[in-house]
Structure 1
Amino acid sequence: MKHFLEMSPMAERILDAAQGLIQQQGYNGFSYDDVAKLVGIKKPSIHHHFPKKEDLVAVLVQRYTHSFRGELLNMEGRHASPMDRLAAYAAVFEQTFNRDRRLCVCGMLGAESGSLPDSAADEVASFFKVNLDWLTQIMGDAQNAGLIKKNCDAESLAQAYLSALEGAMVLGRGMRTVQGPADIARTFLSTVSA
């Protein structure tokens, strides 16, 4: 399996189409035929770049995780305060949700983890680990600065925050409301603030 950084422009277009489909329909809700129609190519061309669907999804999640990691670094560069970083983190989820009520790629795939091939499931787990490690650090920084209560450990707060944001997307889509992750983040952070 190739690494996402080794992708041709056509492979990138295929990944873009598959990402949108996954965000709307999940792993089991799209096929290579769907991708081919969106990209405007024949199905064998997709197999040329990604022999199996699990290859495509594993590479897509690698790319998604890399992009998200870049967002985390940007947040650190733009925001000194841990609370501002946590708000900026929620804004990434809000931007995704505001695009036709799309869900986080890994949130959607995580819900289907029982039916994912191991290569894709492993990449999804890596995405969540990257995010939880970062959030745990930021929650700990906020606690040490006296901005967040210390009644829960930073790791539990990180898990609760990520769960709230992913859940807000699912609930917002399911209830067809405009309330998205940013509103839930504000409520969560006001509840845990010192």
Structure 2
Amino acid sequence: MTKKDTKTKLMDVAEHLVRHKGADGFSYSDLSNVVGIRKASIHHHFPAKADLLTAIMQRYDQRVMDTLEGYTANGSSTAQQLRDFVSFYRDALQGGDTLCMCVAYTVTKSELAEGTQQAIGHFRKRVLSWLQQRFEEALKTGSIKNLEDPALEAASTLALVEGAQISARLNENPESFDLAVQMFLARLSDT
């Protein structure tokens, strides 16, 4: 396995574990067992767990933003872009077994290193900015019922999908997510 392949594999496994068990739910021993390398080799790539947690959050940030920008670039309506956003968060549940990275980290945020907390903050700002832009467009086109303040709508929508994920995970039932977002989705129109 090349150095890059090993580092990528470590990040893939760590992300999977964080999304299933939280940031505190795994150790370098767990990674060692899954990836099949010594703990010392893991420390070569990521000297501390905080380095690994920050790296996977930054990678996740880029992947999510690429996805969101893809929704914008494909020419679909603002309402459809927002539906896709909600679907993205629902899909992250993987049947109620996982959470998106940001939600998984936020549960133990106070115990995370400063760099990881900053990466989470950066991610949330970027997602909120993307959402606010969609709501600003919707305000111009009238494609969302009862829309008044794009910034408040963005904050409320992000909180909605994150909270819906937590509810679905607690209930081990993705339909909990669907119920939580139903009223928001009903406000969207492709006009």
Structure 1 and Structure 2 fold alike (TM over 0.5): yes
Unaligned runs of 5+ in 2: none
User: Identity, % of aligned pairs?
Assistant: 28
Q: How many pairs does the alignment contain?
A: 188
Q: Distance in 2 between matches of 1:147 and 1:114?
A: 39
Unaligned runs of 5+ in 1: 1-6
1:162 to 154, 158, 171: 158
Q: Which amino acid aligns with 1:130?
A: R
Q: How does 1:106-185 map to 2 (within 5 A)?
A: 106-150=102-146, 152-179=148-175, 181-185=177-181
1:109-141 Cα deviation digits (max 9, x unpaired): 122111111000000111101100000000111
CA contact 1:101–1:169 (8 Å) conserved in 2? no
148-157 vs 170-179, greater mean Cα deviation: 148-157
180-189 vs 122-131, greater mean Cα deviation: 180-189
Q: Distance in 2 between matches of 1:92 and 1:134?
A: 14
Shift >6 Å, 4+ stretches:
none
1:12 to 8, 12, 28: 8
**Cα pair distance change 1:180/1:97, threshold 3 Å:** farther
Q: Which amino acid aligns with 2:115?
A: S
**Cα pair distance change 1:79/1:38, threshold 3 Å:** farther
In structure 1, the partner of 2:94 is 98
**Cα pair distance change 1:108/1:95, threshold 3 Å:** same
Q: Which amino acid aligns with 2:149?
A: D
Q: Distance in 1 between matches of 2:132 and 2:79?
A: 13
Q: Distance in 2 between matches of 1:97 and 1:11?
A: 25
1:27 to 15, 23, 26: 23
Q: CA RMSD in A?
A: 2.0
CA contact 2:135–2:154 (8 Å) conserved in 1? yes
Q: TM-score w.r.t. structure 2 length?
A: 0.90
Please report how far the alpha carbon of residue 183 of structure 1 lies from its aligned counterpart in structure 2 after TM superposition. 4.9
In structure 2, the partner of 1:56 is 52
Q: Distance in 2 between matches of 1:140 and 1:154?
A: 6
